[in-house]
Amino acid sequence: MGWKLKTVQTILSILAFYITFAVGEDEEPRSECADFNNTTWLEYHQQGSKLQVQYLLLTRKNTDCASLFGQDFLSNNTYFNSSQPTKIIVHGYRALGSKPSWVKQLAQALLRVQDANVVVVDWIYGASLAYNMVVENYKEVAIQISVLINQLQNHGCKLESFHFIGVSLGAHVSGFVGTLFKGKIGRITGLDPAGPMFKRADTFDRLDPSDALFVEAIHTDADYFGISISVGHADFFLNGGMDQAGCSRSRFTSMYSYVICDHMRALHIYISALNGTCPLTGIPCSSYEDFLKGRCLGCPGRCPRIGLLENSGLTVFPLPQPKKLFLLTTSAPPFCAHHILVQLEVFLLDKSAEVQVILRTGGHPETEQRLRLQTDGTMYRRVIAHPVPLCEIDSIQLKNTGAHFYRQGDIHVVSVCISEFPSVGEVEPLCVKKINVRRGSPWNHDFVQLCENY
């Protein structure tokens, strides 16, 4: 056995020499990157039901390798800079006790936009029980986070420099932290704030505008896992806040697509907005139906935008009461859609009818919208989502599609107009007049050299 021991010692000596040579005599070997706890329901109870909240820090100096962060690490942490703003990411319910795979992507998107400290709250141990038990824990998590905030204030951080980004239940955790600091936290972003057990909750128990100097929320699953009411100064309801483009409604699709695709879309939309590929702008309106009917087409000033603009771009003061903002998106990144208002004017009809409007642009999927025409109306308006701006649309097509279900024959169209909003510059609607749309004979019109100065 002696030769084996000497062999092992020799190998260790060689490794020690290599490490010293590789990192330098005065340098310490690079420590392993910090990561989330992984847990199960059984492990949680074996730990004595302790929340075991821990914090991970990412900055532009260590974007790929998180370091543990907290009271014991403040004095000797070379990455944290108290003069920089601090982003705090709070995950939500974790039914299986697995770590959220999206955290690094979100943190790196934030760091590309702003030089900041990104602190990730890991409360996996408390978030992996039955949902009602997790809801009982969320305020305790917020209290523990508030202790960290107090410590950071002692190290020179200001309350207004903190920006909380809470996903699902994490949005309400963030809100309660804000409550503990009497609304003096700088900003809270709720990504589809959790709805179950919160829809009828008092404002003290859920995210609301009084929790920070500015509170915003992105709603994508308001009919299931998300909350359906406004909870901030700016509430973006994407595609009405419920069913999202590209999320399958079939029970035969994957569990992700069927159960949580809508809920997690808010997170992916936010990351896409941070990447800045194209603007995601919300339009204030009293309801989604009014928005789709073209009754709300803009803002008195600049319309709010998803991302890191101060107060989402709102310039009014004091900030408005909770207001619903609507926008349409596409089914895949970067999710940006151009809002195209289709306005169809027809002569009075003898019978009800249906017209299909199709917009085409080379290299992109066509966009279609069906309009139900009644005998008591002549003007019809509808907002649709198109992947390119107005001036890149190649053609428009009208089809009389109601032949099998309605008895209306030819449809005599006074005019069909398309326009984009919020508009860029003084761009007039594009209109074609005096059209006769016959059964089984689609009408087409090509647009050439549109809006040269757009």
- Could you list the active site residues? 168, 192, 263
Examine residue 387 and say whether the peptide bond preceding it is cis (omega within 30 degrees of 0): no
Q: Is 32 exposed, middle or buried (0-12, 13-18, 19+ CB in 10 A)?
A: exposed
Q: Are 194 and 169 in contact (CB under 8 A)?
A: yes
Q: Take residue 439 and report the two structure tokens written for it.
A: 């059964």
Pairing of strands 353-360, 367-373: antiparallel
Taken as a whole, the chain contains a residue count of 454
Which amino acid, residue 367? T
